[in-house]
Chain A
Amino acid sequence: MFDYSPAPESKDLVKFQASYGHFIGGKFTKPANTFSTINPATEQVLAEVSHGTAKDVDSAVKAARTAYEKTWSKLNGATRGKYLYRIARIIQERSRELAVAETLNNGKPIKETRDVDIPLVASWFFYYAGWADKLDYAGLGANPRAHGVVSQIVPWNFPLMMLAWKIAPALAAGNTVVLKPAETTPLTALLFAEICQQAELPDGVVNIVTGYGDTGAMMVGHPDVNKIAFTGSTDVGRIIAKQIAGTDKKATLELGGKAANIVFEDAALDQAVEGIVNGIFFNQGHVCCAGSRLLVQESVQDVVIKKLKARMENIRLGDPMDKNTDIGAINSKEQLTKIDRLVKQGVKEGGEAWAPSCVIPKNGFWYAPTIITGVSPANTVVREEIFGPVLSVMTFRTPAEAVAKANNSQYGLSAGVWSEKGSRILKMADQLNAGVVWANTFNQFDPASPFGGFKESGYGREGGRHGLLSYLKGSN
């Protein structure tokens, strides 16, 4: 038997401090109101971090305002770009450490942090660095202006990557930022604060405040903030949209999704199966654009499900630090409970849940990759975002039915379509109401490519020229 021996990445590559304050005006504050942040794979405490208060938020916004007015807006684009290039390089240099830190705090496999998250973090800064002195070409005419101070709130599913998606374009456009990482995954943002110091980024251009949702709400509500950028749930997105109603604050919201992944009978079936797996089991399904609704044409349903199950038997769940782990830990007990509740609901409503045989570790939070067949568009698991490694399977007969079912959602973040027929792909891409359509691929990300949703999946784009526009306004 060819069993892979344990191949653990070294935990010693990262040294967390025992406790962290906030990063405001270029310096760490004294830790206060601390709470523990853990490794969800072991439930061991990694560090204590501070729960940001109104006072903390206010001083962070003040630092950002001062930096905006005194330094950052006075620098030319080329210089701002050079700071971002520096940051990109330091991220590349410290990539192994950052990957380990992210895996420890998030629970996602080291394979993903090493091969996906951290490389994208570096490339995001590198990409937007190049925009900083080319803002006249962004599409708003000559001399577009920054908004000023931006409050940015990022989720726990791609902690450092989401930070990069937020901070890189904001700084390139000339804004200064106050960023809050998610309460369960603050550590790489705090390491990023150190990177800002190493890059000698002017004090106050980037400020990191840690804390819970109440801290985030104060960041949104602060009167001296000009723009909000949020990635997270649609429910919180709604709250933010209400909170800024009637103000001059702009917002970019990247919210939930319930993507359809549509497999036609003429698809490259083996690659489609890979795409299904990558679509829903990448990052434990903790992905807003996850392909959580499989729509497979009836004529190939049996073969696709058979191949999918065979493929899922090869998914390796376990220690996120093991280089061969495909599915790591669920990020929190709360999230695990939610996944479990929704799957049980799906079964209660007549769905049939199937998971491959895999050993679930004793400690930590885990959920086996699961598919639910026998469900229909009315079922809870088909409508609600589960945000876990759970795939609902439905069938369709014709392209029109596929489009109708795919679009039948309050969300519209992403969609997948699999067919070897070019004209069908293009027509489907036209008809699907989703901000990102992955045709014969899934879950691809690139700093040059805009990402963001239709409908209740939010508004604004991140990535590419469009992502830059979110942080600029015209010169008039």
Chain B
Amino acid sequence: MRLEVKKTYKLFIGGKFPRSESGRVYIVNNHKGVFLANVAKASRKDVRDSVVVARSAQSGWAGATPYNRGQILYRIAEMLEGRREQFVAEIRELTGQNEKQANQEVDSAIDSWVWHAGWTDKIDAVAGNMNPVAGPFFNISTNQPTGVVAAFAPQDSSLVGLVNTIAPAIVSGNSIIAISSETLPICAVTLAEVLETSDLPGGVVNILTGNASELGSWLASHLDVNAIDLEGTSNAAELEMLAAENLKRVIRKGSYSRTGATGSLQHILDLMETKTVWHPKGH
């Protein structure tokens, strides 16, 4: 009998798969409580490193054409589809869901990438404005990504919750540091592998596995983070307080559903800034 080769579950930072700089891991069990894997337990310094790479990747990602971003998001859907069996197996192993339920979750995750991919070049078409001001001016409001987003994926979802946390942030050109569900981190690492092979520039998405409460305060108080999504946190009020220090944009818990095959434009816009440009009209 051939001995199975097991995966080492690592972090995803700057397009690479490092271990936690702390060297820490934590045990993840399957739904029966049997040991499944040692998963990297991200530390404060992993947060720090992730923010640095997320910041440096952000302007290039935002500067890519919307068409290009759309194609890359669609590519993610393609890659995910190609590995659906693995995701289905991981979800079942981890949560004990039946095949149909697991398939449904993977379907939603794939379709949500497709849904988001289509938005890249339409956001300003529906949420931007030509403003008819009372003067000889051209005046236009467009939306641009807020910058670096820190997000806590829902704790009760393996895959679709994470996808519906990452996609609304990066669709517009933000970069993200996503903290996966602590107890359901396996699909997060596999998703990182999908992202890594999807032409997504390194550093745009960074996925940390570990304890949201431990990492939360470092992200919430980080002055180079522009927005924070508190969905998967257990101490949201405390983190919102820390986030106030540099007036981070905050998505409170429960603001948006993360289970579907579609997201919300409002969710996308919450992580964007409206920019209004004036220019005189005259010969």
Contacts and interface: CB of A to CB of B under 8 A. Distances in A.
A and B touch in the complex (CB under 8 A): yes
A10 interface: no
Contacts of A361: none
B246 A474 contact: no
Given A238-B244, A437-B277, A439-B278, A139 B236 contact: no
Contacts of B280: 440-441
A455 interface: yes
A438 interface: yes
Contact of B275 (A139, A434, A441, A459): A434
Contacts of A444: 133, 135, 137, 278
Interface stretch (A33-41, A196-204, A240-248): A240-248
A459 B247 contact: yes
Interface string A445-465: 010111110111111010011
A253 B247 CA distance: 9
B279 A458 contact: no
A450 B127 contact: no
B266 interface: yes
B118 to A, nearest CB: 18
B278 A437 contact: yes
Given A245-B237, A444-B135, A450-B141, A436 B249 contact: no
A448 B274 contact: no
Given A234-B247, A456-B247, A451 B279 contact: no
Contacts of A448: 131-134, 139
A238 B277 contact: no
Given A441-B278, A444-B137, A238 B245 contact: yes
A65 B134 CA distance: 35
A454 B146 contact: yes
Interface residues of B, number: 35
Contacts of B278: 436-439, 441, 444, 449
A173 to B, nearest CB: 16
Interface in B237-283: 237-238, 240-241, 243-247, 249, 252, 266, 273-280
A107 interface: no
A466 interface: yes
A377 to B, nearest CB: 17
A234 B246 CA distance: 9
B3 interface: no
B226 interface: yes
Given A140-B266, A449-B139, A241 B244 contact: yes
Contacts of A464: 129, 131, 141, 276
A246 B274 CA distance: 25
Contacts of B247: 234, 237-238, 241, 253, 255, 455-459
- Among B146, B266, B273, B280, find the residue whose CB has the most chain A CB atoms closer than 10 A: B273
Nearest to B134: A446
Contact of B273 (A245, A446, A454): A454
A242 B240 CA distance: 7
B245 A466 contact: no
A290 to B, nearest CB: 16
Contacts of A458: 247
B244 A245 contact: yes
Interface string B37-66: 000000000000000000000000000000
A466 B244 contact: no
A397 B275 CA distance: 26
Contact of A450 (B131, B144, B236): B131
Contacts of B134: 123, 446, 448
B126 interface: yes
Interface string B120-163: 00000011010111110101010010100000000000000000
Nearest to A446: B133
Nearest to A443: B278
A240 B247 CA distance: 10
Interface string A240-280: 01100110100001010000000000000000000000000
B133 A449 contact: yes
B129 to A, nearest CB: 6
Nearest to A448: B131
Nearest to A239: B244
Interface string A419-445: 000000100011000111111110010
A115 to B, nearest CB: 13
Nearest to A438: B278
A246 B237 contact: yes
Given A234-B247, A246-B240, A253-B247, A429 B277 contact: yes
B141 A242 contact: no
A314 to B, nearest CB: 23
A79 interface: no
A383 B260 CA distance: 45
A466 B273 CA distance: 11
Contacts of B146: 454
B241 A435 contact: no
A434 B240 CA distance: 23
A452 B139 CA distance: 15
A255 B247 CA distance: 10
A448 B245 CA distance: 31
Nearest to B254: A248
A449 B246 contact: no
A242 B248 CA distance: 11
Given A435-B273, A439-B278, A449-B278, A245 B131 contact: no
A345 interface: no
B133 A455 contact: no
A441 B137 contact: yes
A398 interface: no
Contacts of A459: 247, 249
Contacts of B132: 448
Given A444-B135, A450-B131, A466-B141, A439 B279 contact: yes
19 contacts: A238-B247, A241-B240, A242-B244, A245-B241, A245-B243, A425-B279, A435-B274, A436-B278, A437-B278, A438-B278, A444-B133, A444-B135, A444-B137, A446-B133, A448-B133, A449-B276, A452-B274, A461-B274, A464-B141
The 5 closest A-B pairs by CB, nearest first: A246-B237, A241-B244, A245-B240, A446-B133, A245-B241
Given A429-B275, A464-B131, 17 more contacts: A241-B244, A245-B238, A246-B241, A253-B247, A435-B273, A435-B275, A435-B276, A436-B277, A437-B276, A446-B137, A448-B133, A450-B274, A451-B276, A452-B274, A455-B226, A457-B247, A465-B129
